[in-house]
Amino acid sequence: MRILSGVQSSGKLHIGNYYGAIRQFVQLQDEADQAYYFIANYHSLNEVRDPKRALELTRDAALSYLALGLDPKKAVLFRQSDVKEVLELNWILGVVTPVAHLERAHSYKDKVAQGKSPDFGLFAYPVLMAADILLYSADEVPVGKDQIQHIEFARDWAVKFNVQYVPGYDPADPEGKERGHAPGILKLPSARIQSTTQTVPGIDGRKMSKSYGNTLDLFGDEKELKKRVMSIKTDSTPVEAPKPVPGDKPSDASLASDVPLYDLLKVVLPESEFRDVETSWRAGGKGYGEYKKLLLEALHTTFGPARKRYAELSADPAELDRILQDGASRARAEASRLMDQVRKAVGIP
Ligand code: ADP
Ligand code: TRP
């Protein structure tokens, strides 16, 4: 089984990225036969238009991955832009991509609804993402819930490509197991979602996202982190009273959580500690301030070692370059094998 995933380098990583994505990456590098992880720095150009910042954020994402436990001996870690074949596959997939699919992409519609005037790059974002996945014949793609549609697109377009270009391909038998059938050139990927932490809420209760400015950053300034934790949105329940617990669904659909402090504690605290929190939360007697302090401490304990490692790695840029170059050459070998087949299939010399 081959796992592949990527994170955009469009801002500093936050705990939503960690619990929604990176934590799974680290676990899976041991479970999967092969793991490919990359920094989606072409995708990030949609948001980061300052070249210096684009370069910095790409390195920062690589550092963050490594500090959080990604092991370049177990997984292939690379920059999207180091494998130019992805742009070639992006184009070739584009010729079998219905515009109607792109028009109903949630990520695109959300950004437009937020008032962003769409450029082609934003519109075509899912095509490049599909190329990222299909180029390496990934079986499973660990991502947060918001990315499921993108993986479904990648499957759809892989089928379209195979139907168009692979003689004997039958979508009902994509691996060509039955007699007379041929396997697809592009392998169909599946999304892999971690169900307990599908959406980590930000300090305002909306989904934690760098575009909302409601994040708790993994490697940011200590003082800022404290300030953010202390400003997590709460109601005016008095100290003695039992605190409200989140319902099955937030009453307001734009929120990821009605009670973000509770849900953040649930995500960050070890299970046994959270059980104690839950008891006192329901009984009353503790104020929100105390719970916030508890969360801050838990963040320090959980991410302290990673912060230390991040500082060490930052001090050795040559080592990071070496790791990235090694990852790039391993990724390129795989990409070039697939692209040979793709070019031949479509008639590109
Ligand atoms: P952002 O929303 O901050 O721009 P990205 O879109 O770059 O984050 O997300 C990178 C990865 O982290 C994706 O796999 C995404 O699903 C996951 N992720 C981001 N925010 C959250 C969140 N609040 N909860 C769970 N997973 C998240
Ligand atoms: N769109 C993903 C995100 O917002 C990043 C990404 C780009 C990605 N290409 C990918 C994730 C391929 C998984 C596989 O986080």
For the segment 156-183, what is each residue's pLDDT rounded down to a tens digit? 999 999 999 999 999 999 999 999 999 9
Give tens-digit pLDDT for 52-72.
999 999 999 999 999 999 999
78 forms beta bridges with: 38
Segment 137-159 shows an average pLDDT of: 94
Whether residue 55 contacts residue 41, with contact meaning beta carbons closer than 8 Å, is answered with: no
Q: Is 210 marked active-site?
A: yes
| pTM summary value | 0.89
What's the pLDDT at 199?
Answer: 86
Q: Is the CB of 128 under 6 A from ligand 1?
A: no
Query: Which atom of ligand 1 is least distant from the CA of 7?
Result: 10
Q: List CB contacts of 347: < 8 A, sequence separation 6 or more.
A: none
Average the pLDDT over 204-221 and give the result. Answer: 94
Q: Where are the domains of the chain?
A: 2-200+317-346, 220-313
What the block records as the tokens of 330 is 């391993």
What three-state secondary structure class fits 78?
A: strand
CA of 111 to the centre of ligand 1 (A): 15
CA 215 – ligand 2 centroid, Å: 19
d(CA 320, CA 326): 10
Question: What pLDDT is attached to residue 197?
Answer: 63
Looking at CATH, the fold of the domain delimited by 2-200+317-346 is given as Rossmann fold (3.40.50)
Tokens, residue 53: 């910042």
284 CA distance to ligand 1 middle (Å): 33
- Give residue 343 CA to ligand 1 midpoint distance, Å: 33
Q: Where is pLDDT greater, at 11 or 164?
A: 164
**223 is known as an active-site residue:** no
Ligand 2 atom nearest the C-alpha of 144 is 15
For residue 53, what are the contacts with CB-CB under 8 A and spacing of at least 6?
none
Query: Measuring from atom 6 of ligand 2, which residue has the nearest CA?
Result: 6
Mean pLDDT of the region 22-30: 92
Q: Of 234, 145, 154, which is closest to residue 188 (Cα–Cα)? A: 154
pLDDT band for 250, please (50, 70, 90 cuts).
Answer: confident
Task: Work out the average pLDDT over 179-200.
Answer: 89
Specify the ligand 2 atom closest to the Cα of 146.
Answer: 4
Regarding the beta carbon of 6 and ligand 2, being less than 6 Å apart is answered: yes
**Is 207 one of the catalytic residues?**
yes
Q: Which fold has domain 220-313?
A: Tyrosyl-Transfer RNA Synthetase (1.10.240)
